Amino acid sequence: MNGKRRRTLLKAGGTLLISLLTPITARAAQILAVRVWPADDYTRVTLENDSVLKTRHFIIKNPERLVVDIEGVDLNPTLKSLVAKVQSNDPYIKQIRVGQNKPNVVRLVFDLKEEVDPQVFTLKPIGEYQHRLVFDLYPVNPPDPIAALIEKGQWSIGDEPPTEMPPAVAQADPPYAQPKSERPPQVTRMLTIALDPGHGGEDPGAIGRRGSYEKNVVLQIAKRLKGKLEQQPNMRVMLTRDGDYFVPLGRRVQKARKVQADLFVSIHADAFVKPTANGSSVFVLSEKGASSTTARWLANKENAADLIGGANIKHHDKQLASVLLDLSTTAQINDSMKLGKAVLTEIGGINRLHKGSVEQAGFAVLKAPDIPSILIETAFISNPSEEARLNDDAYQDRMADAITNGIKKYFAANPPLAKSRML
């Protein structure tokens, strides 16, 4: 063996020996994206990363601060960008400060506007997301939804005196109306309608071929519908979300019950694996299985919203979960079916119906035991032509008109009963 070759082998062997003796240090986790979702209910901050992060957090008083130490992370430009993502009108965060506290530990300091109850948890990869570290900052003194309606002039303290019911839209009784002899005495009072724009925040819902997000389209339709319903002399409306933020499915139902809603209307724009699928649909709850394979598939997809949007499963209200799972009644489903038929008939006047009857499936968001509840799929956002219609102001307006007329016909045929205050 010549000297040159010998020197080369010795050098390679020395390099290998050094590499074996050198301790292996763990690669720092990479922060891929940071997002801030402010809302009246709470503010969410999300760090998306390529591995599970280990954290510890604590509160410092006077002034209120939340301190979070994240291990195994180096400060990178993405993490630094979190500072600029806090909006001045955020209800709960003044600012966020970010720094390298010590090697492989980044410290976040949330300067707060009021006392919060922080929930810090991680989410496993799902859909388009990798690992997520989530900070939900809930106020210690949460806003009261009825107080919010009072502030807007939509709810009087002690509730309002009786007001006039809307006149029946049709002269003849529709097929879903009760016979006149069986109808209960008409009660005149304010009617509270909970409108539930699906998805939001971390959960975009279905995404159209042209890039439209379901969460944006349905919020626009819900706001149009809210305006039209509030033009009625005896109706007021509560939105389960009025901006781009995530609301867990159970929380949506809880919000409706807190304002003693008479109806719950969830608004969506569905998608299917085939872009040719089209038409509008109305769904109500089923306790005995879905009315079709498509209905079952869609309910499973919508019920996954908590996984995608990021519900903190460990902090779910156990009492609420019990109510949703155990107390859904036949009476609620029967009333929901009447509402669904009235709305479906009206929607059929502006768009093809995917199916000519109200469908049923186990949608989690329809499980309020004491509120007639429907879920409307306004059109298929996965169908290019229907995606264009969903983004059209005129179509959104006609859809809101149709739902309004359906709700008015439902109440004309099924006058509301007197209501004792719900717990």
Residue 276 Cα distances to 98, 302, 380, angstroms: 48, 20, 9
Residue ranges in the chain modelled with pLDDT below 50: 15-24, 160-177, 179-181, 318-328, 421-423
Residue 5 CB-density burial (10 A; 0-12 exposed, 13-18 middle, 19+ buried)? exposed
What pLDDT is recorded for position 319?
Answer: 43
**Segment 362-419, tens digit of pLDDT:** 888 898 888 999 999 999 999 999 999 999 999 999 999 999 999 999 999 998 775 5
Helices (H), 22-125: 77-80
The percent of residues above 70 in pLDDT, for the chain, comes to 80
Give the model confidence (pLDDT) of 267-288 as tens digits. Answer: 999 888 788 889 999 999 987 7
Query: Cα dihedral angle (296, 300, 301, 302), rounded to 10 degrees?
Result: 100
Which token pair is 114? 């009021």
Q: Which of 109, 132, 67, 116 is nearest to 312 (CA)?
A: 132
Residue 5's pLDDT is: 57
Q: Give the ranges where 33-80 is alpha helix by DSSP (H).
A: 77-80
Domains and CATH numbers, the chain: 31-139 (2.60.40.3500), 145-413 (3.40.630.40)
pLDDT at 150: 78
pLDDT at 101: 84
d(CA 256, CA 249): 11
Residue 163 confidence (pLDDT): 38
So what's the pLDDT on residue 314?
66
Q: Give the pLDDT of residue 167.
A: 39
pLDDT tens digits, residue range 26-39? 577 889 999 999 99
Among 157, 130, 148, residue whose Cα is nearest residue 53: 130
Cβ contact 134:93 at 8 Å: no
Entry pTM:
0.82
- Predicted confidence at residue 105, as pLDDT, reads 92
Task: Note whether 35 and 53 are within 8 A (CB).
Answer: no
